[in-house]
Structures are given as C-alpha cells and as structure tokens.
Amino acid sequence: MSNEPRITFYGAAGAVTGSCMELQYGGQTILIDCGLFQGPRTLEALNREPFSFDVSKLAAVVLTHAHIDHSGLLPKLVAEGYRGPIYATPHTRDLLYYMLPDAGRIQESEAERRNRRQDRRDETPAEPIYTEEDSKTAYEQIETIALNLWSDVAPGFKARLWNAGHILGSASVEIEVGGSRLLFSGDLGPDHKAFHADPEGPSALDHVICESTYGDRVREDVTIEQRRTLLEAEIKAALTRGGNLVIPVFALERTQELLLDIATLINTGRLAHPQVFIDSPLATRATEVFAKHADELEDMGSGEIFRHPSFHYTGSTMESMRLNEISGAIIMAASGMCEAGRIRHHLRHNLARRESTILFVGFQAAGSLGRTILDGASRVRIWGQDVAVRAQIRRIDTYSAHADQNDLQRWIRARQPIEGSLFLSHGEAGSIETLRRLMQCEDAAASIIAPKIGETYALGARAPARRLKTGNPELQGAVERDWQNDYADFSARLKRQLQDIESASARREALARMAEILHSYQAHREKRKESRN
C-alpha cells in the first residue's frame, strides 16, 4: 500500500485561509496552492514558520486562483529556493503580475510600520516575510495551462483545470496520480454569478477535496437586478446621512462587481452621479485586467463600466489621505477583511463619525477586524489606537464569490459517484460540520472527512482515504479568535471603564489590583512548572 498517493493539509483545514495541500507519489511531490494565512495574529504568525515540507523536493505547484490566501506564500517558497514551475490559468497569471508584487510591498510596509510604533521599540525589529523582489521572481516561474486540457505537471502527475466560477481565472484541479482520480474544488462560485459561467467539473472520482466556506449558510436567492436594488437602497440611505459610505473590498472581483452595479445604476438613472473613489492601487490594476478581458465576461450590459466618469482611481498615498477631507462620497478600499491596506486608514477616520456608514459586502473570517466590527464591537484597535464605533454598520450578503450551502450540495452531487472520500476543507468548524452532516445523510461518498492542519491521508483508488498522520492540536487553536483578539477587545474597553470609576485614586487602585492578578497568575504558573520538574 506504500505506493498510494498521499495528501497532507498544511492550511485551510478548519479555517478559510492559508490554502496549501501537498500530494506525494512515487518520490515526487507537488503542491495545490500555497496561500497566506489571514485572521487572528496567532494564525498569521504561521506565515513566518518554516514550511513543513521539504522545498527542495517540490516538483511543481498548481494554483487554483489568484486570491492571496491561495497564492500569497509563493514568494516565500521561491525565497527559500523553489525554482520549479507554478501552473495557473492565463487569467490568473495576468492578475498575479500585479497581486504578488503588491503582496510583497504590503509585507515590507507592514514590517516598517510595526518598527515605527512606540509600543514596539524594545522588541526585535520585524522583518517582512518576503519582499517585492521575491514576488517578482515568483511571478516569472508561472506557466499557464488552458482549461479542459490535460497536462503533465510532474512525473506521474497529470492535471486538468475546470472553470470554478469563483473569480476571473479560477479553476478546480483534477489530478490523475497512482491510479486515483482526485478533484480539488478550489474556491467555488455561486450559480448565476456576474461575469462568469457556473462552476463545472468531472464526475466518477475517487476522492474530492471541496471547500466549505458557506457550508452552514443558505443565502437569499436573488438575481443580479435584485442585488442592485439592495445596493441602491444602501447607497441612497448612506449618502442621505451626509457622511461617507466606506466599503471594505477585496481588490479582485468584489471591487469589479460593485463597479459594474454602481455604473449600471448610474447609467439607468437610478442613482445621481455620486463620487466613487477606488482607493486601492491593486484594485485599480485588477480592474485593468478585467477591462482587458471584458469581451469574455458575462452580464456586462451597456454603457461605460470600468472607466465610468463617476469613478476616481486614487494612486498615491497623498491622494488617499486627501479623502479625509471629503464627505458624502463612496470610498472603496482594500483589504476586504480590514486586515491590512488603506481600508484601515479610512476606518480610523470614519468609524467614530455617526453620519458615516461602513458597508460589508464579503466574508469576514473569525478574528479579523472586519468580523469584530460586524459582530458589534463598540471600540476597536487600529494600528495601536483605540477607535470608537459610532458609524452605521451595514451588510449585504449577496455579493459573495463563494457557493452557499445549496450550491455546494449541487456541485458535490454532480461529481458523484465518489468511490473514496469527500474531504471538506476551507471553512470554519461550524460550516464544515453542517455540510458534513448534510452530505452524510445523502451518502455522498464512501467516507466524509473534515481534515485538520498537518494531517496526512493515503488516497487509494476506489476506497476510503486512510489517515496516516494526525495534525498538531496547537495549530487548531490558532484558526479562530486568539488571545490577541481578546487583548484588543479588553484594551479597547479598558480606558472607558477606568474613566467610569469615580475618582483618580480608585482608578489607580483598580490598576494595582489588575497588576496583582497578573503577578499572582504568573507566580502560580511558575510553581506548577517547578512541580512538574
């Protein structure tokens, strides 16, 4: 049985970011995706850990799509010596021409910002995980594969890509290896999504690895026109309040869908000509790629879209900062989960304003700043500063680029029969468990598995997968909220709670008691450690 293919999950298992799976067979090793972890600080810290596989033994990498949680550690992989091919669709390669260097610049600027912070002066200087130059080198190793054509990606490994309907260039990856047929869904789009045809794929497989991001959620079934009506109402209500409408966006796909809908609303007379600022150099460049492939996109309608006269693409940092002086505009800025980029700048200047509106239009991972705001926090910390949340917090859930529960069920049914195992990955624990139970009731596969980070399975033909190695329990504790999320919440509330105490002497007494508790807890831990030794 030692000649069976093996799969190891290094990310997006019990979590929605850090997608990375290793396939081994016949002395050869390939990766499906190599993505960045995003979310709680403990989870993001995994990006700095050494790879758990031998980079020197990698024969190839196959990418499902360009999102950074699937591609964002490629520059680190290259920096550590990988010189082999990175296979992707032509559209994915076009997008990564901009996205990878942008990711490198973000790593460098985030390290520089951390080192400038007063509260970190006594810490070891932060280093970027990788640089812009590493990103450019990684891009040069990308080789394109067209959809629906078989390719030999490594000795013993044949791959075929299928439209996944998620974003421009996204693909599901079919692999034939060691007598087994495998299918990696990548991220799947919903049925009837703007721009793209519905997801496709083969049937009669041995093993399927399927994303589960919205495995516990059925979204309201709305048409593109109904979605535009919802957006129209949100825009009008926000601008009537007199403040800015700030929309955290993913630079890729979500930005372009919003531009499509806003332009259509203006072109048909349903909106006046609001000022719309796209404050993300990456979103601007991604939009250029969409414009390049506009003839291939669906639902484009008529009239000017991406170059609409109401749209203003900001480039420099100074242009971005000048947006602090305006009111009554629509500001779209990345990142979509508010974890980095210019959106944090706009949140810092708009969250405390009662007349402003923050509109979420995408998935917010557990522990992310976006999720914290959406869950009702009264104060948040941004770049070490406490910010009150007084703005209107709104959400439209019909823009998701991910399949919902019904879409996922339909996609899995279309892949049957699945004679081996159905792996449910790329989702939070609740989403995965809900979908697992539903598919278990349908006997969707011989076995249904929710893999953990670090687990390895044998993937024999026409038989359930067998677990060969368990994961690291400590890593599982990093996938949702962590102590740093709790600390940020605590510290954001602390000053106000102290101010509510009646006198300065009582406040000092409260601080002294907190210090005593921490000292007592530390002493208790030391005693326990000594007793074990």
pTM: 0.83
Are residues 31 and 61 in contact, defined by beta-carbon separation less than 8 angstroms? yes
Q: What is the DSSP string of 16-28?
A: SS--EEEEEETTE
DSSP 3: T
Domains, the chain, ranges and CATH? 6-218+401-476 (3.60.15.10), 224-395 (3.40.50.10890), 483-523 (no CATH)
- The encoded tokens of residue 90 equal 């032509």
- The encoded tokens of residue 134 equal 């590493």
Are residues 113 and 383 in contact, defined by beta-carbon separation less than 8 angstroms? yes
- Alpha-carbon distance 206 to 67, whole Å? 27
- For the CA atoms of 63, 289, 308, 191, the dihedral, rounded to the nearest 10 degrees, stands at -30
- The encoded tokens of residue 151 equal 């390719």
Half-sphere exposure of 25 (CA within 13 A, CB side): 24
Residue 248: which of 135, 365, 326 has the closest Cα?
365
Q: What are phi and psi of 370, to 5 degrees?
A: -60, -45
Half-sphere exposure of 414 (CA within 13 A, CB side): 14
Q: What is the pLDDT along the chain (533 residues), one digit of tens a residue?
A: 458 999 999 999 998 999 999 999 999 999 999 999 987 778 888 999 999 999 999 999 999 999 999 999 999 999 999 999 999 999 999 999 999 999 999 899 888 888 887 667 778 888 999 999 999 999 999 999 999 999 999 999 999 999 999 999 999 999 999 999 999 999 999 988 889 999 999 999 999 999 999 999 998 888 899 999 999 999 999 999 999 999 999 899 999 999 999 999 999 999 999 999 999 999 999 999 999 999 999 988 878 899 999 999 998 999 999 998 999 999 999 988 998 889 999 999 999 999 999 999 988 877 889 999 999 999 999 987 899 999 999 999 888 889 999 999 999 999 999 999 999 999 999 999 999 999 999 999 999 999 999 999 999 999 999 999 998 776 665 555 556 556 666 766 777 788 888 888 888 888 888 888 888 888 887 877 777 76
DSSP 403: -
Q: What is the DSSP string of 420-458?
A: EEEEEESS-HHHHHHHHHHHHHTT-EEEEE---TT-EEE
Within 26-112, strands assigned E span 28-32, 58-62, 86-88
